[in-house]
Structure 1
Amino acid sequence: MGLRYAIYDVFTDRRLAGNPLAVIFDADALSDETMQALAREMNLSETVFICSAANPAHAGRLRIFTPMRELPFAGHPTVGAAIALCELNHAEQRPDFDLVCVLEEKVGPVRCAVRLSAEAASFAEFDLPRTPSRIELNLDRQGLADALSVKVADLAFENHVPSIWSAGVPFLMLPLHNLAVAQSVEFDPGLWEKAAPFVEGRMASAYLYCRGGVHHAAKFHTRMFSPDMGIAEDPATGAAAAALSGAIRHFDGLPDGHHPVLIEQGVEMGRPSFIHLHIDVKDGAIARARIGGQSLKTATGEIHL
């Protein structure tokens, strides 16, 4: 059995940067166990399997796996898969061709807008399938600080304090005092397992953020660590950026209107990524939010099973 696959670098406009994603096509016949084994074999933050959609009007149905488990929703597989499918199905209409498609994920249908480009990286953005919500749990701040090798006083800036948010996948949001502190973090998985809360039956992933960034246009600099997902550190985490939109609106008290936010991640790994977050606030709440970014294909091949 041969399966076509491609590797895309997501949330970047240049190859060998951003977050690499394995896209495996025509995956209807694969069992859950085979998908998980292939995700371990690929050994990337996420591998996405494209299956036939239940609704024939939709572009495809996604199964998203980390090396350790399946996710109901993730950002860089959504962006990468949307571009991969559109490149596959509409190659004759490039360059600079715009279209809208719907991808079926376990979290629900996800609407994506794609701009294909023959000369540069293509771009895709999607509407958040769920608005972010806060999960209230007691947090061991000293234990969390020890796991990051920072001081407890560094786990905050302005109004921001540690909190848990989810827009489909929960993350423990850890605000850090400044960029220097964020770049100095030494994550200890053993200490994290002792201090991290369990959310929805699983150990929480760590999403670190501070204001500003290495890139002058970035409004937030972020890092993500997830022993539970088998991810030592992630170059870009769209689902976490989606959850972060809730923390930004809450702690910054965003007024009604449209708020564009550029998030950088992966800098410390040598794989800089740029996530475009757009937040629309109405009556003091998030009415709509979108995640977007560029992506390029870096490799193609065939898997033999």
Structure 2
Amino acid sequence: MTDYAIYDVFTATALEGNPLAVVFDADHLDEARMQAIAREFNLSETVFALKPDNPVHTARLRIFTTVRELPFAGHPTVGGAIALADRRLGGAVPDAGIDMVKMLEEPIGAVRCAVRINKGGGSGFAEFDLPRLSRQLEAEIEPADIGAALGLDPQEIGFENHRVSLWSAGVPYVLIPVHDMAAAAKAECNPALWERIAPMGDGQLAYAYLYCRGGVNHKASFHARMFAPGEGVAEDPATGSAAAALSGAIHQFDGMLDGNHPLVIEQGVEMGRPSLIHLHIDCAGGQVTHVRIGGQAVRIATGKLLV
């Protein structure tokens, strides 16, 4: 039997945010069994915690969608770090809470993650250093094709200096700026059309990530939606790897000055699962030098796998 837990990530409210299954002590599971378990949970991602290759690290994480393994993903990193901290503490949290640092091994590389667990357990906040900075990839993308695949008029695509572009911080996204939240709300992804027009990046078909300024939540700097039909994800309520990719586009199109830029990205509103992703971009010498992504997570279930 193998212990697991379910967390809602990028939220402090149960049944909001992006659900994540965390399977502990998974060293005895081979890749095929992990993939089968991820299909069984049928969530956008399931993370498996194994013993680390480096004994000073906390754990090695393997992240699976329902169809394949990923090199890196944001909400499994945040949720996995909080779940591992919860499990280690076993509810023994002081009234003031506790801060911890986790070093997580993922296929993309080692990921440093700071975690704060609140009194009572089951909820916390984690923030990780981006293991790979966002970079723009070469691609010829016609706004008219994007509009056809997403049900948008070409004139609804783009705002200010922001234009459609392809970026990746480990997972590729076509970043699609739209005029406003009304345009974002009307978008619907046609899987067949998207597969036909989407570019390749980092060895895979890029996902669609729409964004505009503002949000329903007054804290939000940007409002976003993400579609990954090729992964069996009609829409994702919170996507840390997309926020990672977006950091490069924000720096380029907004002409960020040197310094620290704290931002909040709102996602999942149209799905009834609102999420808030914290994004910190550090710039020096006209370049992005450091990016951190963080968010809250709340435990909603625990159990045992009988396989």
Residue 99 (structure 1) shift: 1.1
Q: Which residue identity lines up with residue 73 of structure 1 in the other structure?
A: F
Match of 1:251 in 2: 253
Q: Residue 223 of structure 2: which of 209, 212, 221 is its match?
A: 221
Q: Does 1:210 align with 2:218?
A: no
Alignment of 1:14-163 (within 5 A): 14-91=13-90, 92-95=92-95, 96-119=97-120, 121-163=123-165
Q: Which is further off, 209-218 or 87-96?
A: 87-96
Mapped partners of 2:120, 2:276: distance in 1: 19
When normalised by structure 2's length, the TM-score is 0.97
Residue 18 (structure 1) shift: 0.3
Residue 168 (structure 1) shift: 1.2
Mapped partners of 2:144, 2:42: distance in 1: 32
Mapped partners of 1:88, 1:116: distance in 2: 11
Q: Which is further off, 236-245 or 83-92?
A: 83-92
SS of 1:68's equivalent in the other structure is coil
When normalised by structure 1's length, the TM-score is 0.97
Mapped partners of 2:192, 2:251: distance in 1: 32
Q: Which residue identity lines up with residue 66 of structure 1 in the other structure?
A: T
Residue 195 (structure 1) shift: 1.4
Match of 1:184 in 2: 186
Identity %: 57
Q: Does 1:194 align with 2:196?
A: yes
Alignment CA distance shift 1:230-1:94 (3 Å):
farther
Residue 29 (structure 1) shift: 1.1
Q: Which residue identity lines up with residue 130 of structure 1 in the other structure?
A: R
Q: Which residue identity lines up with residue 265 of structure 2 in the other structure?
A: I
Mapped partners of 1:199, 1:227: distance in 2: 16
Mapped partners of 1:102, 1:111: distance in 2: 5
Q: Is there any run of 5+ residues in structure 1 with no aligned partner, and where?
A: none
SS of 1:160's equivalent in the other structure is coil
Residue 119 (structure 1) shift: 4.6
Mapped partners of 1:301, 1:169: distance in 2: 31
Q: Which residue identity lines up with residue 103 of structure 2 in the other structure?
A: V
Residue 303 (structure 1) shift: 0.7
Mapped partners of 2:212, 2:30: distance in 1: 41
Match of 1:173 in 2: 175
> Which runs of structure 1 show a deviation greater than 6 angstroms over 4 or more consecutive aligned residues?
none
Match of 1:277 in 2: 279
Mapped partners of 1:287, 1:233: distance in 2: 31
SS of 1:250's equivalent in the other structure is helix
Mapped partners of 1:66, 1:266: distance in 2: 18
What do you get for the CA RMSD once the two structures are aligned? 1.1
Match of 1:230 in 2: 232
1:143·1:194 contact (CA, 8 Å) conserved in 2?
no
Match of 2:269 in 1: 267
Deviation sequence 1:43-92 (CA, Å, 0-9, x none): 10100000000111111000000111110000000000100111111232
Mapped partners of 2:38, 2:199: distance in 1: 26
Mapped partners of 1:166, 1:298: distance in 2: 31
Residue 93 (structure 1) shift: 3.8
Residue 202 (structure 1) shift: 2.0
Mapped partners of 2:69, 2:50: distance in 1: 15
Mapped partners of 1:102, 1:260: distance in 2: 23
SS of 2:256's equivalent in the other structure is coil
Residue 173 (structure 1) shift: 0.5
Q: Which is further off, 237-246 or 198-207?
A: 198-207
Q: Which is further off, 288-297 or 200-209?
A: 200-209
2:171·2:202 contact (CA, 8 Å) conserved in 1?
no
